[in-house]
Each structure stands twice: as C-alpha cells, then as structure tokens.
C-alpha cells in the first residue's frame, strides 16, 4: 500500500470533474486533450490528470481544479486546452479567462474556496469530492478513508459504535429523518428468527425528479459508503449487505463495483476483515428504476426478487426485513456520514446544525437558479442563504416565487418563508419535507397549479397501484388539476381536491401515497389565489397554462419596431396569423390553437399574452 | 389477552387478534373488500380503515392487518375514517362500476354515483389481489400476478400467455369477490345442463347421498394440496380439526370363520351397442343416469330435463339393452322390466311427456308386479312390442326435425315404425361386477355359463359355494331384484351364523392323504385340487393335505403318478379287494 502511494510525485494535479454532468459535457475529451498537451510539452513527469467525482458546481462544467492552489477553471472546451497548458502549467501564469466570475462581481475569482458557491458549504458526506479519483482506493485511504473502519473494528464495541452514532444526532438522510442510532439499536436488539443473520441495506434508489445527491456520492466517493456500511454491520451484527442502485446510474454501479473489488483486495471487506475475525460482504443489486422501490418495504421485495411493491408496516424492516431477518436500511448519504462521525466523534458532529437536526445535508439545486449544482450545507441554514448566497439568485433578475423541496413527496415553500432555517421539523411544519434533498427553485414565471399537476403526473405514473387511494386518488387529483389548467375547472374542484388530498394522505399504504398530495396541499395553502384565478377568471397568472392564454399582436410595436417582419405568420402552425411585411399582423382568435410559437419567435416583443 | 374499546364498547381479545377480528367480537361492522380470513391480509383496498387513538395519538389504520394493543380506542365510523372510506369506495366505483360487493358497500355508505371518471362501465375487477394471493398462498402455484403499474395495473399470467404454472384449480375464480374471473372449463364431466354436473364437483365429498357411513373424504386426484403441497384450507376452516392429510388407505388382515360374497353387478355398458347412439346423442341416457336425474337430491333437483334445460315432450324407454340378446348376454336381467315400468310411472307423474315403452316380453313375475303393469296400461303409457333396431337423429319428415328417431318392428301389428322422441332411456341389463373374475380366482369359486358365481346347488344349496364357509348373496350369483337379494342375503347370514353358533366344523370322513415316503414332490396334485387343500411343504419336499379343506373328491388320488395320494376307505388295496369280492361271487 505504502509503495503504491509513493510511486510517483507530481508538481501539479489537474482534477478533472468526471461526474455525470461534466462527463456529458465532454470532460473525458478534455482529460485526453490535457494529457496529450502535457506530453507535448514534456511535462508528463511533473503534471498528472486525475478524474474525480462530481465537483458540485455542475452549472459551470466541465470543471478543472488545479492542486495545489485550488485554482478553479470552468466551462472548458477542448480547444481551450493548449492555451491553458502552455500558460498555466508550463509558464505558471493563471488563465483568468477560464475562471469563474460571480454575477455580482467584476473580477474573476481564481481560488475555489473564495467562490461564494463553495464558501458557505460544509463538506462531510461530500468530503472527498473533486479531491480523489474514485476508482483508486489508495487516494481514498490517503484522505483518511477506512480510518474509521479500523477504529470501529479494533477499538470499539458494537454498543460503543451505536452510542456514538446516537449521540451524534444523525438522522436518516433519505427523507423521513428517523434517528440512525435508534434504528441501529433496534436492529441490534431484534432477535433474528430462523437461524440468525441480519442484513444491511444501502438505499440508492434515488428517484426524485431533479435529485442527484446519492448518485454523486456513489460516483465521487464510493468508499465512504462502503466504509459506513461495514461499520454499521459491525454495530448491528450483520453478515451481508446490499447496495440497491438504479440501473440508470451506470457510472455509479461501475465505480461502486470497482471500489468493492478493491476493498476486498485490501482485506477491508469479505471474510476476516483486517484480521479481526469479522466477516461482512456487500453485493450490488440493480433496480429497474421504479420510483416506489425507494420505499423500504418495496425495495426489500425487489431485492428478494419479488414484485417491487410495498407492504404494510409493522412489521418494520428492523423486526422482519429481507427474507424475514432484521434489516437495517439507510440512505447512501447517511452511510457516507458514518465514518466521519466515528473519526471525529459525536460531539463534533452534534456541534453542527440545529437543536433537532444535526450535521449537514446535501441538496441538489435545480430549476430557476443561477448556480445549478450539488451543495452540502449545515442544518439550520436559511433558504435565503442557499438560494442567494450559494445558488447565486434567480437568473435574469426575476423574482423568486417558491422552492419545492423533497421531490414529489415534498411541497412548495413560498417567498414569505425564505428565511426559514432548514431542518426536518421546520420543513414539515411548512407542509413540505426534507426528502432526499431535491430543491427546485421557481421564479415568477412558474405556474403553481401546473407545478402541482406536474408532480401529480409523476406520482400517478410511479404509483405501484396496490392501494386504492394512491392508485385511483392520484389519478383523480391529476384529472382535476389537468381540468383546471385547461380552464375547465369548477368552484367545487378546489374543495374536492382538498378532500382527496387529505384523505389520500390519511389512508394510503406507503410513504409514496401518503406524501403524494403534498405538492397539492402546499400549493393550495400558499397559492390558492392562483387556483382561483384559473377557475374563476380562466387565467393563468404566470401564463404557463397555454390553453388559458390569449395571444394578441400590438400593431404599433409590430410595424414600428419589427417592421412587420412576418416571422410569426410563417411559424404559425394553424395559419391563424394574417399580415404582410411592413404591415401590422393580426391573430385570428378562432383559429389560434394557443401553441405560443408566435410569442416565442417574435424578436420585438410585439406578441402579447394575457 | 388485550383490553380495548371499540365504538365505546369495552372488550377483551387475544393478543394476536387484528382490529377487524376484535370488531367482529364487539359486533361492530367494518366493510372490507380485499380481506379474506384464509389468506394473508393485504391492506390494499383501504376500505376497512378505522380511527385508532392510542397514547393520545389518533391515526387511521387498516383494521384487517393492524394488531390490537392494550388501551386502544377504536372508532369504526369516526368522521375521519368515514371520509377516507367513502372516498376510497367512490374512487373504486369509478374503476369497477360493475362490481357487486363494491356497489353494495357504496350503497350502505350512501354513495349513489361516483364523481370520478369511469373508464369502463362493465369493469368488475377491483384489484383486491385475492386471486393472486389465493394462487400463491393457498394453491402454491403462483401462476398469476399483478402486471403494469398504477392505474394500468391488472391481474395476468406472465406475458398474458397461458401459464404453465397454472394447475387449473380455479381457486382464483372462487376467491374473486366480484365475478371478474370466470372459468368455462367443464372438466370433461358429463353435463346435463349448464351449471349442474352429473358426478363429483369438489375434492371433498361424500361418495353419495346414501353413503354409509356418511363421512366426507378427500379425493387425492382432485385435491390441490396433493398437487402443490399448499392449500390446506379445509384444515384451516375445520373447527373440529378433523382433517388429516397423512391418513392413508390401510390394508388390514382379519381372521374370520366364514365369508359372504356380495360383490354385486355392473350395469351393461350401452356404448357396446352403437346403433343405440349412447354417448353420441346427449339426450340418450342410461337407466342409472335417469335414476340420478329424478332423484330429489340429484343435479336438477328431481326435474326431468334435457341437455338444453327443457322438459322432454316424448320419452322412449327401451327394454332389454344388453340382455336376452345373443350378441351380448343371452340371459334375462330380470329387473329391467319392472324398473322401466317405474320410470314410465315417474315420467307420467313429473312430466307431461308422451311415454313409449319398447319391450320384448313383459316379465312381471313378482308379487304385485303384474298389477303394476296393468296400472301403467291404464295410465296411458304406449307399449310397443318389439326390439328397437336403431336410434338416430336422421329426420325424414318435418315432424321428426330435431328429434331422436326410434326405429322398431312392432310385432303386434307386424310393421316397422319410426317413433320420434326427445329423450331415450336405455334399460341396461346387469353384468357381474368389474372385479368378478379376480374374486372368483381368489375364492376358488366356479362360474356358471352366464359368468355369474355358481352356487353349490340350485335348489338345495342356493347360497353356498363349493368351498365350505364361503356363501353368496345378491347379484354376484345371478341377476335378481331387491326382495330376492335381501332374501338370499338373509339366508347366507343364517348359514354363516349356524357355523359360528355350532363352534365347530364337521369334516368329511373320507379325505385323501399323502404318504410321505412315496411322494416325490412333483406338485401335480397341488394345481389339481379344486378346494386348495393341498400345499407344498418346501422343507420336506413333499405335498401336504389340509384335512379341514379336503372334500375327498379323489382327483389327487387319480392323478398321483407315484401312488402316494390315497383316499381313506377307498385305498387301492380296498378297491381291489372289493372288485375281487364281486368277481368271486
């Protein structure tokens, strides 16, 4: 191990982001171009290129961070590579044109830590992102990887491990926030029927639209998850573990299986781990991508090879899980937190966060926000800090309207609550939930009824169909919402929607159904006026529901500014626009199918929408 | 035991009970759809939701799978529970508007019409999963499952193809509460009309209504448990725990002093006369089938119906089917005339049909029999003397369309007639039972020319066989009716009792004996002895005679090549001496 680590030293390490986002932005081509260029200049013994996991600042990909120095280059293209190599790596001059300039500043910021996006983040689960090659265990070990495992296996008793986790205040990062230490204790205490054996499961069936935290952790630092699971196995007395990953995450599966092989090679997994006599091994189970399989009982059914649908609880998995044995299921992020708690102690971890929610949480920032990406922030941070300080605010200077947290199970939190400190309780209080950490930012141009309809269409598609409220109820709510967005809603619809939502929340079988009405309930709570506008005045205030829009052309603007450019007429799909060049164009309302193409193509703002 | 309150009623139930079971005890009615006591609860329909308060926390739970807990306060009809129940039923009603149990619950909850979009007004499936669970948990076949997701969910075999795992038990259709699953298979059973079968319908049954003892048994051929190892549903529902799957047929050896053979008869197989069309035309039935048909506990409840469920307008009864016929059995079966007359009488009583009776000779020999025949003549039965040559459906006239045509030579008027009828009853004769020949071999009983068992003497020993202690009773000895059978059986029992009462057996004084010195062990005598009294002693290498069995017939004596077998009192020397004496005079 030691030999391998010191086989070569380099002057510069070029950390190329190889997260899924940057890879699809051609970061592997950039890596090859860099290597070629470095060779051309004869620097191959001084400079090395390292592909890393997701850096987090996906908006700015492909990303290159130069170590030491933490110099942050962004939005690189293959053609930029020769210039960059010559200037920076050969001549030692930083290239400012590839650096990031925050919107409110004029000068580019060269050092990663000085960039506002990174400044307020606290990295625990994502501690190794952008710093190691996830396919090399040595690099993980160099960053204290498996140190906690050694400690847990050689110095700690199972009870002590559980006490440590309990004291740290770690709660399940999958969304529901069940205290992890308590769950471990329950599984440890559970008497295993029919011949012993307990199981550990890592839930990596991340399915929320716009969420990619688990994927990122598995791709950037699979060893953190493996290490966490081995420690957990020691604590509860499990002999086998499963990582349930969606098959749509091929890179995560690939890196995880490489990591598992390497860990086995190093004696950190398998039989007689580190010579302590402790046996534990992990298998990867690939899910077919059903959203409901993220629900723990459905997930277990899927691992067992049965139909992936939930069953009633109790019995909880801690009592009777996989094949009837006590089973401890935690989310990817939860497992990734464990080694840090063991390494640095419960006290340190409990020092971060709020009264009830300790530590950090990874969020994926998506939607109408400048800095799309993955962030890890301490619990208790306000939405405002995430959206404006880290996220860089709303693009185009538009007004922030709401943030949707917790995926399709969560709800929409309005502008008035922007100073809400984020923790499990406050989000639930606001009608939403922590969820796995998706954060969809919405601006003034978002129609909240349409958003509710979108999330309902998702849960309706993904409902397994076992229980009546979820199967029929999501369909019924979706029908009503579709009706409202098409301008055919009635006054009774809001009442019926509310009734349905409450009843489904009350009576559905599993978490999917119980939380499916949340987007409807929160939008009804905070944006009832928008529903009423759709129903009473048949108007969509955000002009998103096109069936409710009325398109007109301002003749003055059309002639004076656009000189009757005729683009709208040529693009109109239903021949509803008449007019000739240099003349004002007119839309025939009877023919207009409200597709909105004229509005989109008019370069002079002559097409108006009401 | 656990104490809880249901709708304000304090009750005590077992710890393992569910709220639903407890509610039943408290006489609180909770509607259910996906629940069935013999399969695992599924908690999918969400109709049985009740509000439970425990430790200050109120929650809605499904009563079918939630276990009771100490101090629970259950409200089966709280506002919250009713809202959820009503909406769930209303939504289900949009899915399956034709499901009767669902409509019933909706009616009880005051739901007249669903507010949600109905996709198919004929749909019956409520996706309760009872069929799927029955197939998996009861039958153990797992031939069907749910496919697709969400509103597209449905029950299917893999890829919608006929499943190899399906054993055709139709448990799915049986468990389906709404009739969404139906089965059309008639299982190769003879169908009288659509729903009713002649013959067994379930794996557990009593052999017949008249069975003694009246105890049900499990038919291993039809039982799911003996096919898949699962099910055992009868054991689950039997409170007396009387079902035993390990119980097997056992063979028991009994030592007895005498044996009465009463192995009965089998009806003549009417298929052997192709011209009579039995098996080809559904409305040609045998006498046994007609007996079952008119029986009040039979498949039609005693009504005489044709295959299409209608009452026949004309019925023909054909005598001497397989009897008094050189091609089949030359003997008269003796009972057919009288039971045919009985049928004619019953038909007249139960239907308005014209009854034709085709006879060869009317043999009404018993007490009151002739009088019965005369009564039938008065009742209007049309008697036609002559042997039926053929029954077919080849109509020559319009009147004969759709009828069975009975062709017969009416010997009283000397012409060939065609009689159109709707139903024909074949008065099949009697033949020795199926295992008659094996029995004959086993008990060493001779058979007469008509293949029935031969009695020792037609007049002096009509119930005895040639073997002492073995008696004959009933139709195994020859065709006879019930009074004759009862009389003969009584006589056989008396003979057997007389033996038992005496406590001793009288032996023939004149028996054969084998001289050990002379016997060469050739065993010729063993096969020849008609009374199986000679056995071969392997150790000594000689044949041995059982004195109790030997009747002194002398067969062995005549056959013995070495002169070892000698008849007592008739030894060679004695016979020679007698001959000598005669010759001397």
Residue A519 maps to which CATH number? 1.20.1440.230
Whether residues B405 and B456 fall in one domain: yes
Domain membership of residue A583 as a residue range: 549-609
Is the model's pLDDT at B185 over the cut of 60?
no
The region of weakest confidence among A347-351, A467-471, B211-215, B262-266 is: B211-215
Model confidence at B209, in pLDDT bands (50, 70, 90)?
Answer: low
A394: CATH: 3.10.20.600
Contacts of B65 in chain A (CB under 8 A): 312
How far apart, in whole angstroms, are the C-alpha atoms of residue A508 and residue A469?
Answer: 5
DSSP B377: H
Model confidence at B188, in pLDDT bands (50, 70, 90)?
Answer: very low
Q: Are A242 and A205 in contact (CB under 8 A)?
A: no
The half-sphere exposure of B72 on its side-chain side, counting CA atoms within 13 A, is 29
B67: CATH: 3.10.20.740
Give tens-digit pLDDT for A32-73: 999 999 999 888 888 999 999 888 898 888 999 998 888 999
The answer as to whether A265 is a domain residue is: yes
Contacts of B43 in chain A (CB under 8 A): 311-312, 467, 509
Whether residues B499 and B476 fall in one domain: yes
Whether residues A99 and A160 fall in one domain: no
The region of weakest confidence among A496-510, A579-593, B8-22, B216-230 is: B216-230
Contacts of A499 in chain B (CB under 8 A): 83, 87
- H-only helix segments in B200-299: 225-228, 233-237, 287-294
CB contact under 8 A, B92 and A474: no
What percentage of chain B reaches a pLDDT higher than 90? 69
Whether residues B359 and B297 fall in one domain: yes
Whether residues A143 and A260 fall in one domain: yes
Whether residues B94 and B133 fall in one domain: no
Q: How many domains, in total, are found in chain B?
A: 4
User: In the A/B pair of chains, how many CB contacts fall below 8 A?
Assistant: 101
The two tokens of residue B276 are 């009579």
Contacts of B146 in chain A (CB under 8 A): 307, 309, 465-466
Residue A317's nearest CA partner among A224, A244, A245 is A244
Model confidence at B227, in pLDDT bands (50, 70, 90)?
Answer: confident
How far apart, in whole angstroms, are the C-alpha atoms of residue B384 and residue B406?
Answer: 11
What percentage of chain B reaches a pLDDT higher than 70? 96
The answer as to whether A127 is a domain residue is: no
The two tokens of residue B117 are 């979009």
Q: How many domains, in total, are found in chain A?
A: 5
Whether residues A143 and A253 fall in one domain: yes
- What is the DSSP annotation of A195-263? T---EEEEEE---STT--HHHHHHHH-HHHHHHHHHHHHHHHT-SEEEEEEETT-HHHHHHHHHHHHHH
Model confidence at B187, in pLDDT bands (50, 70, 90)?
Answer: very low
Interface check A301 vs B, CB under 8 A: no
Whether residues A425 and A495 fall in one domain: no
Contacts of B62 in chain A (CB under 8 A): 312, 509
Domain boundary among A62, A82, A114: A114
CB contact under 8 A, B150 and A473: no
The answer as to whether A128 is a domain residue is: no
CB contact under 8 A, B43 and A506: no
The answer as to whether A430 is a domain residue is: yes
Domain boundary among A516, A537, A558: A537
Whether residues B491 and B527 fall in one domain: no
The answer as to whether A543 is a domain residue is: no
Give tens-digit pLDDT for B130-139: 999 999 998 8
Whether residues A233 and A320 fall in one domain: yes
The answer as to whether A334 is a domain residue is: yes
DSSP B451: S
Whether residues B400 and B456 fall in one domain: yes
Low-confidence ranges of chain A (pLDDT < 50): 1-5
Whether residues B59 and B175 fall in one domain: no
Per-residue pLDDT at B299:
73
- H-only helix segments in B96-208: 100-108, 130-133, 171-175
Strand duo A400-405 + A438-443: pairing: antiparallel
- Minimum distance, in Å, between the CA of residue B66 and any CA atom of chain A: 8
How many angstroms from the chain centroid is the CA of residue A513? 21
The answer as to whether A2 is a domain residue is: no
A590: CATH: 3.30.70.20
B481: helix, coil or strand? coil
Whether residues A192 and A320 fall in one domain: yes
A306: CATH: 3.40.50.11540
pLDDT, average across residues B65-89 = 94
Whether residues A71 and A144 fall in one domain: no
Residue A138's nearest CA partner among A257, A258, A43 is A258
End-to-end CA, chain B: 109
Whether residues B405 and B343 fall in one domain: yes
How far apart, in whole angstroms, are the C-alpha atoms of residue A48 and residue A556?
Answer: 62
Whether residues B421 and B354 fall in one domain: yes
Contacts of B88 in chain A (CB under 8 A): 468-469, 472, 503, 507
Is the model's pLDDT at B357 over the cut of 90?
yes
Interface check B381 vs A, CB under 8 A: no
Q: Are B357 and B340 in contact (CB under 8 A)?
A: yes
Mean pLDDT of chain B: 90
Whether residues B296 and B386 fall in one domain: yes
How far apart, in whole angstroms, are the C-alpha atoms of residue A411 and residue A439?
Answer: 10
The answer as to whether A506 is a domain residue is: yes
Residue B451's nearest CA partner among B321, B330, B270 is B330
Whole-number CA gyration radius for chain A:
27
Whether residues A317 and A403 fall in one domain: no
How many angstroms from the chain centroid is the CA of residue A524? 25
CB contact under 8 A, A472 and B151: yes
Domain boundary among B108, B143, B166: B108
Sign of CA dihedral B74, B75, B76, B80: negative
CB contact under 8 A, A468 and B146: no
Per-residue pLDDT at B184:
59
Domain boundary among A308, A327, A349: A349
Interface check A500 vs B, CB under 8 A: yes
Per-residue pLDDT at B84:
94
Domain membership of residue B19 as a residue range: 2-108
B540: CATH: 3.30.70.20
End-to-end CA, chain A: 68
Domain boundary among B475, B506, B537: B506
Per-residue pLDDT at A1:
40
Whether residues B412 and B472 fall in one domain: yes
CB contact under 8 A, B91 and A476: yes
The answer as to whether B19 is a domain residue is: yes
Beta-bridge partner residues of A15? A50, A65
The answer as to whether B252 is a domain residue is: no
B464 or A3, higher pLDDT: B464
Whether residues A523 and A479 fall in one domain: yes
Contacts of B120 in chain A (CB under 8 A): none
Interface check A288 vs B, CB under 8 A: no
């Amino acid at each position: 191990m030691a030999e391998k680590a010191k086989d070569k030293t380099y002057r510069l390490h070029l950390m190329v982001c190889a997260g899924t986002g940057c890879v699809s932005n051609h970061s592997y081509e950039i890596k090859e171009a860099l290597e070629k260029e470095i060779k051309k200049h004869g620097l191959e013994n001084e400079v090395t290129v390292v592909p890393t996991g997701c850096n987090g600042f996906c908006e700015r990909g492909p990303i290159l961070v130069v170590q030491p120095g933490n110099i942050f280059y962004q939005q690189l293209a293959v053609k930029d590579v020769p210039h960059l190599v010559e200037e920076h790596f050969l001549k030692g001059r930083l290239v400012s044109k590839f650096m990031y300039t925050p919107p409110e500043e004029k000068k580019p910021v060269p050092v990663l830590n000085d960039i506002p996006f990174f400044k307020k983040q606290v990295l625990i689960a994502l501690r190794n992102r952008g710093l190691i090659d996830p396919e090399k265990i040595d690099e993980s070990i160099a960053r204290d990887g498996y140190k906690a495992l050694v400690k847990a296996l050689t110095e700690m008793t199972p009870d002590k491990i559980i006490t440590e986790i309990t004291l740290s205040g770690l709660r399940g990062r999958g969304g529901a926030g069940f205290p992890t230490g308590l769950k471990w204790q329950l599984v440890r205490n559970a008497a295993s029927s029919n011949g012993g054996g307990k199981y550990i499961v890592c839930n990596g069936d991340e399915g929320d639209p716009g969420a990619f935290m688990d994927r990122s952790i598995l791709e950037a630092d699979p060893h953190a998850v493996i290490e966490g699971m081995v420690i957990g196995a020691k604590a509860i007395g499990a002999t086998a573990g499963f990582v349930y990953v969606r098959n749509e995450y091929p890179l995560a599966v690939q890196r995880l299986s490489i990591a598992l092989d390497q860990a086995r090679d190093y004696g950190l997994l398998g039989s007689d781990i580190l010579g302590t006599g402790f046996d534990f091994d992990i298998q990867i189970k690939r899910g077919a991508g059903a959203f409901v399989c993220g629900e723990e009982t459905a997930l277990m059914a899927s691992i067992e090879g049965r139909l992936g649908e939930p069953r009633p609880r109790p019995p909880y998995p801690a009592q009777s899980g996989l094949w009837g044995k006590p089973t401890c299921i935690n989310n990817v992020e939860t497992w990734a937190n464990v080694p840090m708690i063991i390494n640095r102690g419960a006290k340190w971890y409990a020092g971060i966060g709020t009264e009830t929610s300790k530590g950090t949480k990874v969020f994926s920032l998506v939607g109408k926000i400048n800095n799309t990406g993955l962030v890890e922030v301490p619990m208790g941070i306000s939405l405002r800090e995430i959206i404006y300080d880290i996220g860089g605010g709303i693009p185009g200077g538009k007004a922030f309207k709401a943030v949707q947290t917790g995926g399709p199970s969560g709800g929409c939190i309005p502008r008035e609550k922007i100073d809400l400190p984020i923790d499990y309780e406050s989000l639930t209080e606001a009608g939403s939930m922590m969820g796995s950490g998706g954060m969809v930012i919405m601006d003034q141009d978002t129609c909240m009824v349409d958003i509710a309809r979108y999330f309902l269409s998702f849960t309706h598609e993904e409902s397994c169909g076992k229980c009546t409220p979820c199967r029929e109820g999501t369909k019924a709510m979706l029908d009503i919402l579709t009706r409202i967005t098409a301008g055919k809603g009635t006054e009774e619809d809001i009442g019926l929607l509310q009734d349905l939502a409450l009843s489904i929340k009350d009576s559905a079988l599993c978490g999917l159904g119980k939380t499916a009405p949340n987007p409807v309930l929160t939008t009804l709570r905070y944006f009832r006026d928008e529903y009423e506008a759709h129903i009473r005045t048949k108007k969509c205030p955000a002009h998103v529901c096109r069936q409710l829009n009325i398109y007109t052309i301002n003749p003055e603007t059309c002639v004076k500014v656009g000189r009757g450019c005729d683009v709208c007429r040529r693009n109109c799909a239903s021949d509803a626009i008449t007019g000739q060049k240099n003349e004002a164009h007119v839309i025939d309302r009877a023919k207009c199918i409200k597709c909105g193409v004229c509005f989109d193509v008019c370069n002079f703002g002559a097409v108006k929408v009401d | 035991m656990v104490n809880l309150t249901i709708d304000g009623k304090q009750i005590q139930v077992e710890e393992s009970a569910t709220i639903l079971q407890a509610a039943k005890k408290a006489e609180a009615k909770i509607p259910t759809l996906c629940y069935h006591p013999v399969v695992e609860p599924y908690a999918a329909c969400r109709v049985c939701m009740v509000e439970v308060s425990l430790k200050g926390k109120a929650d809605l739970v499904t009563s079918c799978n939630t276990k009771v807990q100490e101090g629970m306060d259950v409200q089966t009809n709280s506002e919250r529970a009713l809202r959820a129940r009503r909406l769930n039923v209303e939504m289900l009603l949009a899915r399956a508007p034709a499901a009767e149990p669902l409509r019933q619950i909706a009616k009880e909850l005051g739901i007249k019409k669903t507010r949600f979009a109905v996709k198919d007004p004929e749909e019956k499936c409520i996706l309760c999963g009872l069929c799927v669970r029955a197939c998996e948990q009861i039958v153990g076949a797992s031939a069907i499952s749910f496919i697709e997701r969400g509103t597209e969910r449905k029950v299917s075999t893999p890829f919608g193809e006929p499943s190899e795992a399906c054993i055709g038990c139709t448990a799915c259709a049986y468990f389906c509460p709404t009739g969404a699953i139906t089965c059309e298979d008639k299982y190769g059973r003879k169908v009288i009309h659509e729903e009713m079968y002649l013959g067994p319908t379930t794996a557990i049954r009593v052999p017949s209504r008249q069975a003694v003892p009246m105890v049900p048994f499990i038919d291993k051929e039809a039982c799911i448990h003996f096919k898949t190892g699962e099910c055992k549903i009868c054991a689950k529902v039997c409170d007396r725990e009387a079902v035993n799957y390990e119980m097997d047929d056992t063979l028991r050896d009994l030592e007895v002093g005498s044996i009465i053979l009463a192995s009965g008869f089998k009806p003549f197989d009417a298929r052997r006369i192709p011209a009579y069309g039995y098996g080809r035309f559904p409305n040609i039935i045998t006498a046994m089938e007609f007996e079952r048909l008119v029986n009040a506990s039979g498949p039609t409840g005693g009504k005489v119906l044709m295959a299409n469920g209608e009452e026949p307008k004309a019925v023909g009864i054909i005598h001497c089917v397989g009897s008094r016929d050189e091609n089949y059995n030359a003997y008269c079966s003796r009972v057919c005339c009288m039971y045919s007359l009985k049928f004619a009488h019953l038909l007249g009583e139960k239907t308005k049909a014209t009854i034709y009776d085709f006879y060869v000779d009317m043999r009404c020999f018993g007490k009151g029999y002739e009088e019965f025949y005369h009564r039938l003549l008065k009742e209007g039965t049309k008697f036609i003397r002559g042997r039926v040559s053929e029954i077919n459906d080849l109509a020559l006239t319009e009147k004969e369309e759709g009828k069975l045509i009975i062709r017969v030579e009416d010997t009283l008027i000397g012409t060939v007639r065609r009689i159109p009828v709707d139903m024909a009853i074949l008065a099949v004769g009697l033949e020795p039972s199926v295992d008659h020949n094996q029995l004959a071999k086993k008990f060493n009983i001779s058979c007469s020319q008509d293949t029935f068992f031969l009695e020792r003497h037609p007049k002096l020993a009509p119930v005895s066989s040639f073997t002492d202690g073995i008696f004959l009773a009933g139709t195994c000895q020859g065709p006879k009716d019930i009074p004759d059978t009862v009389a003969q059986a009584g006589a056989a029992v008396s003979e057997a009792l007389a033996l038992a009462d005496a406590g001793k057996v009288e032996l023939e004084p004149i028996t054969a004996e084998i001289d050990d010195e002379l016997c060469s062990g050739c065993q010729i005598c063993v096969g020849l002895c008609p009374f199986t009294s000679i056995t071969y002693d392997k150790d000594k290498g000689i044949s041995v005679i059982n004195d109790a069995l030997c009747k002194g017939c002398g067969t062995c004596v005549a056959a013995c090549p070495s002169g070892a077998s000698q008849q007592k009192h008739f030894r060679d020397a004695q016979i020679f001496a007698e001959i000598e004496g005669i010759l001397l005079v």
